[in-house]
Structure 1
């Protein structure tokens, strides 16, 4: 009997984790799950992050020195950034089309939306923000009693602590000058950058700088350093092979912990959470699914050509399930690199350079989600955004996806920036908090799939791709091979 593929084992672990969480919640065992099962999920993410940061450092240095010619490096770097920017714009445009066609914010009953609109106008009044669509519910006599009621509710409303912390982060960034992101790109101390998960762009900058410098010193002096870097990278890749053998159990623990925290000892709480935001969640998941199952395979078919539809998902299945489980492109990076290199046949020179950059700056799933969220929240508050305002969302989301890559909780911080760009209340992120964790898992799958697609495009263009349709994807993670 043929051995069950590792990605299927992970999917089974994922499903069993969800079932366990729901059963344990209904039996009142959530505390046991949180104390004795969920920590193994945290260990899994920590192991992946432990490997990811030094792997980014050594793989980029290895990739730069492998390319050899600085002019080739510049050409490849330019093509990489253009490709990532193109997929990002495609994702945010798809998000805007979907949210305008499906209008999830208008599925809420009109009475609630009127109260939301009044709440918005009260906030705009206090914040000194212009109400751009010209309507004024506060001065409309038919809403006089409702204005009074909503005003009273707003006086007693407190901002959620998680929302407040992210608003504070954005406010701090506003006080900085326009070139602050450029300043933050250059590390003062590379060892500090390596120990702080939020400073991955600094690690990339150092790795590029170090690798380029190696190209300009005599070969006999550079050779021992390059050999050491190559050996270090291989060692970290072998570490991920060992970790992935236990991935099905770790994923079980991770999902059990995530769902258990959402449900507590009341399974109905999870159902209620999704019921209230069901149409919005469906719109986001549909957009993300279209990117993964239609857009990226179509790009692969038109540009790369050699990888069949089923072959692409067979090659990337393990990286996609790991991305869904961990909700982190950076933590998934070691798995992504092995899948793209060994299963898609992309040369190590390409994966070492393109994928670490993509894991940091490419956020196709995140910007698609943000485009949907911002328009959904506007619809939810009876606000009609103009075409110009929606184009502002495209521009701001695209720039924020690159500029805030080094900020912890970057997705929600980016969302606050995008909401502010069209004059909406940043505190509204609290509305989508309940389902954000699950949707974040879906977004990460899109980000990782986008990274693989772009690296394949670059490899095809550089003649550095050798796809083998008969390759067993599990061989990449077999410690014996």
Structure 2
């Protein structure tokens, strides 16, 4: 009988492990809420499970950000060859990311998704009045006098600045920097794998923290989660249909409606897979076959965007950071807002290709401005829903940048761009055949 029971448990465990991680996290959130409501105040006994998960995420932050940023910057090695294109791409991506995080903060400030949440009564959250430092002092403080001390103490902004500077230096010294780049690439891959391992604990950590929250405060915190979803989706829609349309119209003099028709396939793949990297083949296809972008441009700008362009993730961090601050009754200063914008913008360079990157980077932003990391558990349960929207923004931003830069470099076939879908396919086929004929044997 015991063997049969063990076999049944083994099959159940195998079935559970085959469930997608996002669904495991959602199940953990629901079960945590049920357990918390059932156990009441005794649910605090489950909190250490969640605390352990939060601590493992904290463990990742500094090494993951440091290694990922260096790899992200050094992947720009081709910019020495492509010159203007690399400079335009890097500048465009960082500017749009800063605008996205600002939009997210604005939406969060207006909608107030965390207002009225009972977590503000949490006895462990004690806020003391602090004088906001000057802008000059803030700029001075982000440059570390001792990079090793900054790494050891977790001064994230200082770590980011040092990592970006070191990455640029490794690119500039050429072949001499390649051995060090390979070391950081190996370390980054190890951190990605470790992140994947830690994220497997997310369902249990979310269960523990949600049980504690539900036991202490009831189910009154569910409505704010719906408000977070509304706020993120509204912000994403405004960024795509408003800001991107404005960029296409003003800077490239192109019809935004034609653009969105051309990238509809990539947007659908992004929404269903929630993976910018996984959508890259569809993005490349849309750029060349429907938008008329020369492959010399799209083959560089799109992969670079997958690495450093995280407009949707930045917008999401703005909304959720304000949600956590409002939920715990913490008033952010204008310096805190600037810090969130700067941190999310710079950190976006190293977030691509990391499973669970949204939650890890949210933890980074929260810790930078001193917000309670327990708020991550509330977001984790709905993260997959939010991830679908923010990935669409990320992919759309990559294609907007590719199109605008191609237009500025006279590498955009506007007749192809303005053609309907069937005509675009014919033109793309003709261009492919022409390339084959001109290619040397």
TM-score, structure 2 length as denominator?
A: 0.60
Answer yes or no: is 1:385 the counterpart of 2:332: yes
What do the CA deviations read for 1:376-426 (whole angstroms, capped 9, x no partner)? 111111111111211111111111111444654222221111111111122
1:58-207 alignment runs, 5 A limit: 73-108=82-117, 112-116=118-122, 118-121=123-126, 132=130, 174=154, 178=159, 179-180=162-163, 187-188=181-182, 198=192
- Which residue is equivalent to 1:444? 391
- Which residue is equivalent to 1:325? 272
Cα 1:466/1:35, change in 2 over 3 Å? farther
Query: Would you say the 8 A contact 2:310–2:351 is kept in 1?
Result: no
SS at match of 1:355: helix
Query: Would you say the 8 A contact 1:107–1:279 is kept in 2?
Result: no
Query: Would you say the 8 A contact 2:114–2:327 is kept in 1?
Result: yes
- Which residue is equivalent to 1:282? 230
Query: Would you say the 8 A contact 1:187–1:193 is kept in 2?
Result: no
Query: Would you say the 8 A contact 1:339–1:473 is kept in 2?
Result: no
- Which residue is equivalent to 2:245? 297
Distance 2:251 2:245 in 1: 10
Distance 1:384 1:175 in 2: 21
Distance 1:409 1:428 in 2: 16
What do the CA deviations read for 1:301-329 (whole angstroms, capped 9, x no partner)? 112223x2331121111100101111111
SS at match of 2:248: helix
What do the CA deviations read for 1:227-286 (whole angstroms, capped 9, x no partner)? xxxxxxxxxxxxxxxxxxxxxxxxxxxxxxxxxxx9xxxxxxxx9996451112111110
Cα 1:407/1:98, change in 2 over 3 Å? same
The alpha-carbon deviation at position 428 of structure 1 amounts to 1.9
- Which residue is equivalent to 1:246? none
Query: Would you say the 8 A contact 1:273–1:434 is kept in 2?
Result: no
Cα 1:197/1:349, change in 2 over 3 Å? farther
Which of 344, 365, 370 is 2:291 aligned to? 344
Query: Would you say the 8 A contact 1:304–1:460 is kept in 2?
Result: yes
Distance 1:450 1:305 in 2: 17
- Which residue is equivalent to 2:357? 410
Cα 1:380/1:37, change in 2 over 3 Å? closer
* Aligned residue-pair number: 310
Query: Would you say the 8 A contact 1:133–1:383 is kept in 2?
Result: no
TM-score, structure 1 length as denominator?
A: 0.55
- Which residue is equivalent to 1:433? 380
The alpha-carbon deviation at position 427 of structure 1 amounts to 3.0
Distance 1:194 1:395 in 2: 22
Cα 1:99/1:407, change in 2 over 3 Å? same
Tell me, which stretches of 5 or more residues in structure 2 are unaligned?
Answer: 1-11, 24-74, 133-149, 171-179, 194-206, 208-218, 434-441
- Pairwise CA RMSD of aligned residues? 4.2
What do the CA deviations read for 1:111-148 (whole angstroms, capped 9, x no partner)? x24423x3322xx7xxxxx56499xxxxxxxxxxxxxx
Distance 1:302 1:351 in 2: 21
SS at match of 2:114: helix
- Which residue is equivalent to 1:49? none
Cα 1:364/1:175, change in 2 over 3 Å? closer
Query: Would you say the 8 A contact 1:315–1:343 is kept in 2?
Result: yes
Distance 1:339 1:378 in 2: 40
Query: Would you say the 8 A contact 1:327–1:440 is kept in 2?
Result: yes
- Which residue is equivalent to 1:455? 402
